[in-house]
Amino acid sequence: MDIVTIFQTLFRWGIPALAAGIILLLVLAGGYLMYKKVLHGEKKVNRLQAACAALLFGWLILVICLTSLSRGSNFTGSMNIDFMSGYISAWNHWSVSELQLILFNMLMFAPLGFLLPLLWKKAEKFWVTLLVSFSVTALIEVIQFFTGTGIFELDDLFHNLIGSLFGYFCVMAVLSLVREKTIRFAPVAKMLLIPGMIGLTLGIVILAYAHQPYGNMSILPAVQEDMSEVKIVTGLEMSEQNTTAAIYQNKYAEDKNYVSKIKSAVENLENLTFSNLTRREDENLGYLGKDANGTPCRLLFFFRSGEWSYTNFAENAAQLTEEQTDLLKSRYQNWMKELELLPETAQFSVQNGDTLRWDVTPQQDIMQGMEAFQTGSVMIQFDESGTLSSFFYQITWNEYVADETILSESQAFEQVEAGNFEQYVPFQPGDTLYIEQCELAYVYDTKGFYQPVYEFNGYINQSDNLWSCKIPALQPTYAESVENQR
């Protein structure tokens, strides 16, 4: 969930939560008046307490909406008790959206820690707020678990608790200032402790990432698969010889000038207007726009690989006549060549009678280290009016960086045995994994480097239940970690 989605969800559920808080405030006011006038009660409730009660109730409604009502029941019985797995996942993907979600989960509970001491005098004691905060967040996680609207996660318990304590330290600093008419060091230091630690940690992580030679591998798991009760069967003979493989970097990775150039070129080519507002989700950067007739469209960049796509959301592609094919081929092929987007080796074809296609394949074995190579395809379609409806530019431009020593097949297989791979559906005790193939392939890391990986293919239990996984080849510490596990 990225920051845009977070705010969209907040706006969607914020109004019902605010309305619920106002209703509660009115109910409390009516009940208090009845208590004073009819029952002649003597206990006083000040306006601040009443407002805090209403705000806390509205906050609780909002949190329940965000964590449960805004989702379907898709996670029944799911839990993640691997502490800090969210941080590992954010690191492996170098994910802005995952980091935003972690910080949001903290800030989401800050109102609880801030308002509770204002409502309840005893909550000024640290242990009382700590206990209440833990109980509330644990209750929400349990509700998610049994309703299937979320996953019971230890990480969320930790994040919510940290956020609530931050709110507590903030309100205690404010109360100290109001009561003592002076700024004391201890309350302010406690208030700054949590954001200071978070900022320091983020700074260290960003510095470490910037200084490592290559990027992170998103194919790595946040949590290892439990392979203790999984039988692995293979007839492959795994080589124990370490070899070398070439590393490449995408020519247009993280290139803002390239993004701006393509955006302007597409606007001019198709008479479009894209807004300056962008939406970034980890590897993607999107622009929304309109054509001359007001039809909405979108331009999406994958800035770690230099790929991009355009669509006007038309549902069906029009069949092309031979004459149309020749004219459109000439127009778009010349346009791509002018922008140096189409290699000379690209091969043209017409697919399904409605798609113009150019394909590019490397001329040599990229494992051996070429100066540069291009690979991929371009696919273009049009709607019934003859307007461009989709443009998928999937050609990657890779430049040679270095040769690096990689793991042997045997060492990579040890990583499969140890469960060091991403698996969407977990193995079940008693499963048998049949591995039929092992070959070297390439994937992009989070800095746009094209790294070698071992790709294992096979099936689980039955031949129609296909399975595959990728093991980073450029990870010499893997072999050491396996030995340490033994």
Residues 174-206: tens digit of each pLDDT: 999 999 999 999 999 999 999 999 999 999 999
Nearest to 5 by CA among 64, 70, 56: 70
Predicted pLDDT of residue 478: 41
Predicted pLDDT of residue 402: 94
End-to-end CA distance of the chain: give it in Å, rounded. Answer: 38
DSSP string, 409-467: HHHHHHHHHHT-S--SSPP-TT-EEEEEEEEEEEEE-TTSEEEEEEEEEEEESSTTSEE
Q: What is the pLDDT of residues 193-244, one digit of tens each?
A: 999 999 999 999 999 999 999 999 999 999 999 999 999 999 999 999 999 9
User: Taking 60 as the threshold, does the pLDDT of residue 480 lie above it?
Assistant: no
* Angle in degrees, 0-180, between the axes of helices 477-485 and 409-418, rounded to the nearest 10: 50
Nearest to 289 by CA among 269, 319, 318, 317: 269
**Which two tokens mark 69?**
């009502």
User: Taking 50 as the threshold, does the pLDDT of residue 486 lie above it?
Assistant: no
Predicted pLDDT of residue 485: 40
Predicted pLDDT of residue 39: 79
Tell me the pLDDT band of 483, cut-offs 50, 70 and 90. very low
Measured between alpha carbons, how far is 224 from 481 in angstroms, rounded to an integer?
Answer: 13
What is the mean predicted confidence (pLDDT) over 375-385? 96
Cβ pair 234, 435 in contact under 8 A: yes
Predicted pLDDT of residue 479: 38
The residue with greater pLDDT, 370 or 131, is 131
Predicted pLDDT of residue 32: 77
Q: What is the pLDDT of residues 86-116, one digit of tens each?
A: 999 999 999 888 888 899 999 999 999 999 9
Cβ pair 357, 367 in contact under 8 A: no
In the 3-class helix/strand/coil scheme, how is 60-80 assigned residue by residue? HHHHHHHHHHCCCCCCCCCEE
Measured between alpha carbons, how far is 412 from 415 in angstroms, rounded to an integer?
Answer: 5
Predicted pLDDT of residue 481: 40
Q: What is the CA radius of gyration of the chain?
A: 29
